[in-house]
Amino acid sequence: MSNIFEQEPSSKEDRRRTIIAVVLSTVIVSAGFMVQNALFPPATQQSTATQTPAQGTELPAQNTSAPAVAVPSPIPVKTASSSSIPVPAAERTYIIETDVMSATLTNAGGEIVSLTLKNHRDKSGAVDLIVRGSSGANGLSLSFGSATAPVRELMNAQWLDESKTAIEFSRMFEAPLAGSDQKVPFVLKRAYSFKKGEYLFALGISIEQPDGKPIALGANGIAYRLDLGPQIGPRFDQLPKNADYRKYIAEIDGKKKSEQPKANTPTVIAPSASWLAMSGKYFTFIAVPKAPMSGYEIETAQDPLIKQTNTISLLRTSFSGVSATDTYYFYFGPKTSAELGKYEYADKNGFGLASLKLEDAMEGSGMLGWLENFLKFLLNFFYKLIPNYGIAIILVTVLIKALFYPLTKKSSMSTARMAELQPKIQELQAKYKGNPQKLNQEMAELYKRENYNPMSGCLPLLIQFPLFIAMYNLFNNHFDLRGAMFIGGWINDLSLPESIINFGNFRLPIVGWNDLRALPIIYLFSQLLYGKFTQSPQSAQSNSQQASQMKLMMYGMPIMFFFILYDVPSGLLIYWITNNVLTILQQIVINDLMKKHKLARAEAATSTGGGPVSAGTGETSSRTAGNAPKPAASKLTSGKKAAVDAKARPVGRAGSKEGFSEKVTKWLENKAGKTEKGNKRGASGKSGPNSGSGSAKGSPKKKK
């Protein structure tokens, strides 16, 4: 029995047709001469036309009434002991081992009953991508025509190589002769080929009529169909929502297209698709046919054993001829660029495939893909330093917060500045309530006078928002987080929600939870603390409408997100909690810096005679900056002049018991008093060489 992967279908068919043509020509010419010369009766001609049973093949009674709308489906031939294709008496399984996969196949129809990935594990061991439902697994089962019952007759099996990575199953069936009700036998072969280091394998389907008679295969335009179902692994029916999913993706005319079939309704996809994928969160099945296709059929339904089912079928167009060989490639493995990208270049994979664009089966971030890749690089970098992805997530978050600290500080300062301006803004809003145009004009003037940019508080947040989206996609879809443990006994898989208590079959009413989780609760408290620390005092004293809005943002949003994020992967919550804690610490530092700066600016204003200082900017208010006193042109020599100059200085900060001008006045008066006392001491002191002149100058003052 030959290996169908080593044959060229077109050349073999041509050779077979040539041989058949020669044989038939010889038979026809010889029969013609014999009829003419010997005048054989017609009965003899009938005996020459029924030579197939003499070959040892027992054919069942033929059906003389063919259906009007469809060609009858092939049926297995009851082979005798002299058959060239012996049929085993019992079912037997065969195992193909590579370095990355272990496939178990059965000779009952040549199906795959198990396909495990050696390098990827779940709770039950190595991940098995063939999930059995209540009616068993359909691991690429074959059905003739549009029939739903798969071919599961026992087939002969033989290895095609010494390494036992390629196997062929074969059995004889019979199908209608083309253009006739007569049935003739044909050989069905199914051959699998696996290669080292590949999650992709090949399946060849061969149909051969050994006597060269053309057969017809096709019911409703379908010669046969290959079905995969009822589900691909790993099993996810018991996993919480958001932990896994199943999606259908097709590559049509070089473009990725997502397909969403209605429940319990088979949906047929056009045959123009170059491949069709059924993808989960971390693993994917991709069918790449190299055969004439009538279409693809997908369906989502329910199964009593595994809850949700997702099936995919490849529909091969009807066939009429002597033989045909179809080749299919199936990728069954992890959804990573490293593996899927192999099939863009022929020299990167063992099958010589190129330009398949299988990476389209992955989830992407669109324009933020480059940012997600950068964050993935950082995550893997920290993982190499400390081989724990939970710690790596924390370190990445710390690094990001450190890089964005200047923006966070600027945003907090701007928020505080905006809170100081709220009374003036509310005053303008009340004054120009019925004139929006004038209000906008006055608001612009206010911002200009106060040297404040209203976008300075929002811009840093807008810059960080794309980063947050990329971080969310990374921690929610990064393949390496699957099965990665953070804290043993608690967070055993960063790709799944953690659990501290499982309620078994009991579920909490309304929400439907059957697990008590710690991370969502920790997240809720961290988010509430985050809102408390980032709320400014002025915003808490605003009007009732704004106060209610602030309460909704501070308490309502975290509670709402608590329910939304209850079942998300634990890796994502670790990132979010770490981000909240770091933001709280940053805000404590920023608040402390703001207090110190405010005190420093107040002291600077006291020493220089400046006006009130804005807490958020460190600049004197524009309304008082222009009134600041200029330095004295000459030294004050009399208390009276000092008092006058002191009164001319601007008043200190409003509400102070002792303003700046009062302090300056007292200081000048003290200096003036000390000067007078010094003069008096000089007049009453000992006489020197110039004492006379000094006394003369001082005597009139004494008389006065």
pLDDT digits (tens, 9 = 90+) for 145-164: 876 689 999 999 999 999 99
Burial, 61: exposed, middle or buried (Cβ in 10 Å; 0-12, 13-18, 19+)? exposed
Antiparallel, parallel or unpaired: β 307-321 and 293-303: antiparallel
Q: Is the pLDDT of residue 206 over 70?
A: yes
Span of 345-349, 440-444, 552-556 with lowest mean pLDDT: 552-556
Length of the chain: 704
- Cα–Cα distances in angstroms (integers) from residue 499 to residues 118, 240, 242, 374, 644, in the given order: 27, 11, 15, 31, 78
Q: How far apart are CA 58 and CA 87, in angstroms?
A: 14
Cα 428–Cα 430–Cα 432 angle in degrees, nearest 5: 65
d(CA 692, CA 680): 15
pLDDT of residue 79: 57
Residue 8's pLDDT is 41
pLDDT-derived band at 3, boundaries 50, 70, 90: low
Beta strand spans in 291-322 (E): 293-303, 307-321
186 vs 167: CA distance, rounded Å = 20
| Pairwise CA distance, residues 428 & 85, whole Å | 96
d(CA 295, CA 468): 41
Q: Parallel, antiparallel, or unpaired for β 515-516 and 501-502?
A: antiparallel
Q: Average the pLDDT over each of 44-58, 210-224, 478-492, 593-607 and give the range with the smallest value.
A: 44-58
More confident residue, 664 or 116: 116
Spatial contact of 485 and 387, defined as CB atoms under 8 Å apart: no
Q: What is the pLDDT of residue 1?
A: 44
Distance between CA 518 and CA 167 in Å, rounded? Answer: 51
Tell me if 583 sits within 8 A of 529, measured CB to CB.
Answer: no
For residues 178, 183, 187, 188, the Cα torsion angle rounded to the nearest 10 degrees is: 80
- Residue 10 reports pLDDT greater than 70: no
Position 331: which residue type? Y
Averaged over 30-48, what is the pLDDT?
A: 42
Instruction: Tell me, yes or no, if the pTM score tops 0.85.
Output: no
Residue 557 CA, distance from chain mean position: 24
Cα separation, 643 vs 663, whole angstroms: 11
In which band, very low, low, confident or very high, does the pLDDT at 513 lie, cut at 50, 70 and 90?
confident
Q: Where are the domains of the chain?
A: 56-360, 369-595, 629-678
CA distance 113 to 107: 10
DSSP labels for 579-607?
HHHHHHHHHHHHHHHHHHHHHHHHHHHHH
Q: Which two tokens stand for residue 603?
A: 């002291």
Q: Where are the alpha helices (DSSP H) in 129-202?
A: none
230 preceded by a cis bond (ω within 30 of 0): yes
C-alpha count within 13 angstroms, C-beta hemisphere, residue 621: 13
CATH of domain 56-360: 2.70.98.90
| 3-class secondary structure, 159 | strand
What per-residue confidence (pLDDT) applies to 427?
87
- Greater confidence (408 vs 667) lies with 408
DSSP assignment letter at 280: -
**pLDDT surpasses 60 at 615:** no
Encode pLDDT of 573-601 as tens digits.
999 999 889 988 888 888 888 788 778 87
Q: pLDDT exceeding 90 applies to what percent of the chain?
A: 35
Mapping DSSP to helix (H, G, I), strand (E, B) and coil, where does residue 275 land? Answer: strand
